[in-house]
Amino acid sequence: MFEDFAPVPVHKRVRSAAWAGDLHWRRIRAYIEMICRPISIAANTLRPALGTGVNHNFADKQFDKACVRTVQYRRNRGWNCKKEVLRDASSPVCFCLILMGKGPHSMALVDTKKMFKMAYNNGYAVGAFNVNNMEITQGIIEAIAEEKAPLILQISRGAREYASMSYLRAIIDVAVNENPDIPIAMHLDHGDTFECCKQCVDDGFTSVMIDGSHHSFEGNIKITKEVVDYAHDHGVVVEAELGQLGGIEEDVIGVEDVSAHLTDPDQAIEFIERTKVDSLAVAIGTSHGAYKFKTAPKLAIDVIEKIGARLPGFPLVMHGSSSVLREFKDLINKYGGAMPDAMGVPEDAITEAAQMAICKVNIDTDLRMALTAKIRQVFAEKPSEFDPRKYLGPGREAIRLMVKHKLQVLRCAGRAAECL
């Protein structure tokens, strides 16, 4: 029995991976099911002999650490076959994952390094859109595919608690595999502890944010450096934040007076040099949520200019960047909502920042408002409607159109190919 389930020799594994990558999933699904079931049974039968640290039960998905490292390595790097990966790949679970299309020809998530380099050099910013469910993700992806733009899909702690990381990852994997000509990064938004960032690195994120802005300057440096060291060892890029934004969004609570908590350019230079962080979110007067300003919006563009002049080529990030589009605000208020004082960031200010050192612009509130506006409209106009597809569908379409518009504001439409 042992011989039947012995690890496949390296040269055969590589050949099998190439074979699997050239075939569509549906054509090899029968082979996968045929192979997985006996291997799962065999692994469970052999578990006492293998030790308690190894469990290849597909039903429980309790992979041993070697399997997890291998899967992450392949997903993040497009199956870059280094010696340690081939050694770990002797696991039957990992061999089955090769057959499932995780080999060298299947698409993989990318990090943001090339995106940001191209964005900085060519005067545009990449849209970073928060995802919470299938419809939001589909609306974003459809717009991105039509406009041929690079994409960052962000997942917050609230999204992970709401939808479960396994569901969100599966949705994103489908988006990646169905759009091989679109570079897609998966980013942790506002990780607040080392443990949170470490977990996301281990879960296959290609980019993580450590938000230590609520700490002292030295405390922020300390926790950011810890995350950078761990993430870089695993090939993952890191975003940090210096200065503080206003507003409230999920667990992120901002300050009252944003003008008193702007990023100090001198501190930013020191912070970047000491932490070796890959990008930095700067506080320039924006706020989280739908109520960003009480008076006419005014952004501290000079902060971007000063940091950009002293660190040319270094990518900066703009948080709290939704514009709170009037069409969605009006629909929400018309159909029973109460957002009369909502105010966002002017789109011309976003475009101006995107032509400077801002390479990533976060957008979440505009997605929520687009979805909510259309759902409210359907409920008001068709009160007898109870089929979720009849109101989530229009919401998804509103997101698609809104994202297409945002890609023009960011100037990143048509830029996908140069970011691959």
Convert the pLDDT of each residue in 25-58 to its tens digit. 444 444 444 554 454 444 444 444 444 333 334 3
Q: Beta-carbon neighbour count of residue 18 at 10 Å? A: 14
Residues 86 and 125 in one domain: no
**HSE (CB half, 13 Å, CA atoms) of 255?**
15
Residue 215 in this model has a pLDDT that exceeds 60: yes
Instruction: Among 59, 78, 102, identify where a domain stops.
Output: 102
pLDDT of residue 288: 54
Give the C-alpha separation, 42 to 44, whole Å: 5
pLDDT of residue 127: 98
Which residues is 291 bridged to in the sheet? Answer: 343
Per residue in 265-319, pLDDT (tens digit) is 999 999 999 999 999 999 998 865 556 556 667 788 999 999 999 999 999 999 8
Average pLDDT, rounded, for the chain:
79
Q: Could you tell me if residue 385 is inside a domain? A: yes
Q: Which residues contact 378 (CB under 8 A, 6 or more apart)?
A: 385, 390, 391, 394
Q: Are 109 and 26 in contact (CB under 8 A)?
A: no
Q: Which residues of 300-316 are buried (b: 16+ CB within 10 A; e: fewer)?
A: beebbebbbeebeebbb
Give the C-alpha separation, 128 to 110, whole Å: 14
Q: What is the DSSP string of 132-143?
A: -SHHHHHHHHHH
Structure tokens at 411: 């100037």
Instruction: Among 78, 102, 126, identify where a domain stops.
Output: 102
Q: Could you tell me if residue 107 is inside a domain? A: no
In terms of phi and psi (left: phi > 0; alpha: psi -120 to 50; beta: otherwise), the region of 148 is left
Residue 203 in this model has a pLDDT that exceeds 60: yes
Residues 159 and 222 in one domain: yes
Residues 90 and 157 in one domain: no
Instruction: Among 102, 135, 158, identify where a domain stops.
Output: 102
At residue 88, the 3 state secondary structure works out as: helix
Residues 121 and 231 in one domain: yes
Cα Rg, the chain, nearest whole Å = 23
The mean pLDDT of 226-234, rounded to a whole number, is 98
pLDDT confidence tier of residue 353, bands split at 50, 70 and 90: very high
Which value, to the nearest 10 degrees, does the dihedral of the CA atoms of residues 215, 217, 222, 226 take? 80
Residues 257 and 351 in one domain: yes
Residues 135 and 16 in one domain: no
Residues 83 and 171 in one domain: no
Q: Could you tell me if residue 214 is inside a domain? A: yes
pLDDT of residue 295: 63
Structure tokens at 276: 């070796």
pLDDT of residue 142: 98
Q: Are strands 184-191 and 151-155 parallel, antiparallel or unpaired?
A: parallel
pLDDT confidence tier of residue 242, bands split at 50, 70 and 90: very high
Residue 418 in this model has a pLDDT that exceeds 90: yes
Q: Are 137 and 56 in contact (CB under 8 A)?
A: no
pLDDT of residue 1: 38
76 versus 341: the higher-pLDDT residue is: 341
Q: Beta-carbon neighbour count of residue 53 at 10 Å? A: 9
Residue 384 in this model has a pLDDT that exceeds 70: yes
Q: Beta-carbon neighbour count of residue 169 at 10 Å? A: 19
Is 348 a residue of the active site? no
Could you tell me the CATH number of the domain that includes residue 288?
Answer: 3.20.20.70
Residues 78 and 175 in one domain: no
Q: Are strands 246-249 and 252-253 parallel, antiparallel or unpaired?
A: antiparallel
Structure tokens at 18: 């190439």
Residue 394 in this model has a pLDDT that exceeds 90: yes
pLDDT of residue 89: 41
Enclosing domain of residue 261: 113-419
Q: Could you tell me if residue 226 is inside a domain? A: yes
Per residue in 98-151, pLDDT (tens digit) is 444 444 334 689 999 999 999 999 999 999 999 999 999 999 999 999 999 999
Total domain count, the chain = 2
Nearest residue to 157 via CA among 186, 127, 197: 197
Q: Could you tell me if residue 273 is inside a domain? A: yes
Q: Could you tell me if residue 237 is inside a domain? A: yes
Give the C-alpha separation, 183 to 22, whole Å: 20
pTM: 0.75
Q: Could you tell me if residue 108 is inside a domain? A: no
Residues 95 and 130 in one domain: no
Per residue in 160-181, pLDDT (tens digit) is 999 999 999 999 999 999 999 9
Which residues is 157 bridged to in the sheet? Answer: none
331 versus 68: the higher-pLDDT residue is: 331
Q: Is 116 exposed, middle or buried (0-12, 13-18, 19+ CB in 10 A)?
A: buried
pLDDT of residue 88: 42
Q: Could you tell me if residue 380 is inside a domain? A: yes
Residues 30 and 117 in one domain: no
Catalytic residue among 189, 211, 264, 366: 189
pLDDT of residue 221: 98
Structure tokens at 269: 């230079």
Residues 199 and 244 in one domain: yes
Residue 249 in this model has a pLDDT that exceeds 70: no
Helix (H) or strand (E) holding 189, with range, is strand 184-191
Residues 345 and 287 in one domain: yes
